[in-house]
Amino acid sequence: MTIVDDKFLTWVNEHLRERGWSYNELARRMNNMSGSGVSFVMRGERNITYDFCIGIANAFDENPEDVLRRAGLLPTLPSKVQEEAEIVHLLRRLSSEARQVILHTMRSLLGLGLPSTYQVANEQETNYSADPPRTLAEQLAWHIARDAEELSDEEQQYIIDLMQRITDAQRGAGATDAAQPELP
């Protein structure tokens, strides 16, 4: 056990302020501590425990290992490992569909193309391209074209205008604020 450090206290208090929670509300969501117990720890009058950190992680929907590291109960990891752990944690919080989009985007960024199961499934759904998109730009354009059927004419025009602004910016022309299309 160790006394909570100021950085950890600040981090917890910031999360509480963002959510508008009291120590009692935090304790209720932790399911393993009373409001006065949370208060004692937060004032630095009581040692922090692993259970306290796990409760904080559950209440804030954070990775328990990250909370334990913030509290000083686990050693810090090299930054590259921390980054990879955060990526995995965030991916797990996404829907299955969103995870697939992220995976396809990562593959495109690396120039790996799409896995054959994705190609077959999407070729059956649409006639936009016999060849599945390989680059990130191709993949984004393919998804926009696929989804554009369901958009209103105004929304489709907004996308066309936005794509033109991106093209102009890439060429160095740079559209002015006055020329920017309004959101539908």
Query: What average pLDDT does range 72-101 have in this prediction?
Result: 84
Q: Indicate yes or no: pTM above 0.75.
A: no
pLDDT, one tens digit per residue, over 153-179 is: 777 777 777 777 776 776 665 444 445
pLDDT, one tens digit per residue, over 28-50 is: 999 878 888 899 988 888 888 89
Query: What average pLDDT does range 137-146 have in this prediction?
Result: 65
Q: Return the pLDDT at 131.
A: 56
Hey, what are 71's tokens? 């509290």
Tell me how far apart the alpha carbons of residues 124 and 168 are, in angstroms, rounded to a whole number: 34
Residue ranges per structural domain of the chain: 6-70, 81-179
Q: Return the pLDDT at 124.
A: 45
Average pLDDT, the chain: 76
Q: What are phi and psi of 2, to 5 degrees?
A: -145, 150
Query: If DSSP codes are grouped into helix, strand and coil, which group holds residue 26?
Result: helix
pLDDT, one tens digit per residue, over 98-119 is: 888 888 777 777 777 655 554 4
Provide the β-strand partners of residue 2. Answer: 48
**Which tops the pLDDT comparison, 119 or 24?**
24
Asked if 49 contacts 55 with a C-beta cutoff of 8 angstroms, the reply is no
CA distances from 97 to 42, 43, 65, 148 (A): 39, 43, 26, 19
Q: Return the pLDDT at 142.
A: 64
CATH architecture of the region 6-70: Orthogonal Bundle (1.10)
Highest mean pLDDT among 2-16, 50-64, 114-128, 145-159 belongs to 50-64
Provide the β-strand partners of residue 48. Answer: 2
Tell me how far apart the alpha carbons of residues 57 and 68 are, in angstroms, rounded to a whole number: 9
Q: Which residues contact 32 (CB under 8 A, 6 or more apart)?
A: 51, 52, 54, 55
pLDDT, one tens digit per residue, over 54-73 is: 999 999 988 898 899 899 88
Radius of gyration of the chain (CA): 24
